[in-house]
Amino acid sequence: MTTPIAGDPRFFAGAGPFGLEAVVAAAGGTLAEGRAREGVMLHGIAPLHSATAAQVSFIDNRRYAAMLASTQAGAVIVAPALVDRVPAHCVPIVTRTPYVGWAKVAALFHPEPAANPSIHPSALIDPSAQIGAGVEIGPYVVIGPRAVIGDHCRLAAHAVVGAGVILGEDCRVGVHVSLSHALIGARVRIYPGARIGQDGFGFAVTDTGFLSVPQLGRVVIGDDVEIGANTAIDRGSAQDTVIGAGTRIDNLVMIGHNVRLGRGCVIVGQVGISGSTTVGDFVMVGGQAGLTGHLKVGDRARIGAQAGVMNDVEAGADVVGAPAAPVRVFMREIAWLRRAAREGWGELRSAAKAGRDDQNGQGAKGG
């Protein structure tokens, strides 16, 4: 088994080395007073336990403070409260948001590859499609009539962009993604296998069975959205399905027709959101939660993992459980159930003991 490597060059293009000043600037931090050293060159990033003198690390959780004391990193990004615990050989880069600093430094050493302007010979592009400047189109990509691909987009192998779809500038579309009936903003990341703009799950019930209802809406996706692998976002029925700017959607998420997600939402893996539900800005939905249709979830609400949401959720509320309830209510109910179970078990044992005693008494009489 090989030793773990952050940024394995077989898979991740690297940059650098960088001087300490450049790394500090990228992190948005400052050097701890009296700890600066001249001539320090840093070649990459690594976790605390494996970093070398040529690498940068970080700590954002006091649980790992003991690991900080033994790190061999050349520099470490830390909060002010932990500066005094950084070893003498290591330069502290101080910021109140170490994880944000780490993200920026990681991007400094491993920037996202730029599009390589090219069109693979196997790609099929309709003559009426518009292809922007600096676009990279991979093998077997299909781009339909009247589609618009913005500048500097990258389309990976076997991606399909349907008729009339618009992609803003600097988008990334992964392998085997299919896009239809969609208007997509700038800097959107769509990971492999995602299906966007398919028919919504809409039908009418008749005496003889089900009658499919034409799905005539679109999917409208704002700027800076990320959509995880194998996620499905259905187009609207008579209105649009909308994904607000800056929202992050994990892998294996299902979003039904006419759903409206606000700005900056976080939707974790295996969540299902049924049709015509409206979710406010900056809402967080935990893994495997399910939301029924036609609900309203207020801004900054938080929905716990595996919650079953069947009623509207107020802005700022925290709900858990199935059916979902406010955290305090849910925890009180759980405590009551556990107490009732303990008391019931105690009563059951008492009854069983009384029954055994009675049987023993009857046996003595019979003897």
Q: List the pLDDT tens digit at each of the 367 positions of the chain.
A: 455 577 888 899 899 899 999 999 999 999 988 887 788 899 999 999 999 999 999 998 888 888 898 999 999 999 999 999 999 999 999 999 999 999 999 999 999 988 899 999 999 999 999 999 999 999 999 999 999 999 999 999 999 999 999 999 999 999 999 999 999 999 999 999 999 999 999 999 999 999 999 999 999 999 999 999 999 999 999 999 999 999 999 999 999 999 999 999 999 999 999 999 999 999 999 999 999 999 999 999 999 999 999 999 999 999 999 999 999 999 988 888 888 877 776 665 666 666 666 655 555 555 4
Q: Which residues of 152-177 are buried (b: 16+ CB within 10 A; e: fewer)?
A: bbbbbbbbbbbebbbbbbbbbbbbbb
Indicate the pairing of strand 241-243 with strand 130-131. Answer: unpaired
203 Cα distance to chain centroid: 31
Q: Which residues of 24-40 are buried (b: 16+ CB within 10 A; e: fewer)?
A: bbbbebebbeeeeeeeb
Sequence-distant (≥ 6) Cβ neighbours of residue 165 within 8 angstroms: 144, 147, 148, 179, 180, 181, 182, 183, 184, 197
Go through the chain and tell me how many residues it has.
Answer: 367
Residue type, 321: G
Q: What is the pLDDT of residue 192?
A: 98
Give me the active site residues, please: 257
Q: Please state, in angstroms and rounded to a whole number, the distance separating the CA atoms of residues 238 and 150.
A: 27
Contact 178, 162 (CB under 8 A): yes
Contact 275, 293 (CB under 8 A): yes
DSSP assignment string, 295-328: -EE-TT-EE-TT-EE-S-B-TT-EEETTTTEEHH
Of 2.160.10.10, 3.40.640.10, 3.40.50.300, 2.60.120.10, which CATH number belongs to 118-326? 2.160.10.10
Of 2.30.42.10, 3.40.50.300, 3.40.1390.10, 3.40.50.2300, which CATH number belongs to 18-109? 3.40.1390.10
Radius of gyration of the chain (CA): 28
- CATH 2.160.10.10 residue spans of the chain: 118-326
The three-class DSSP label of residue 282 is coil
Q: Please state, in angstroms and rounded to a whole number, the distance separating the CA atoms of residues 20 and 27.
A: 11
328 Cα distance to chain centroid: 26
- CATH 3.40.1390.10 residue spans of the chain: 18-109
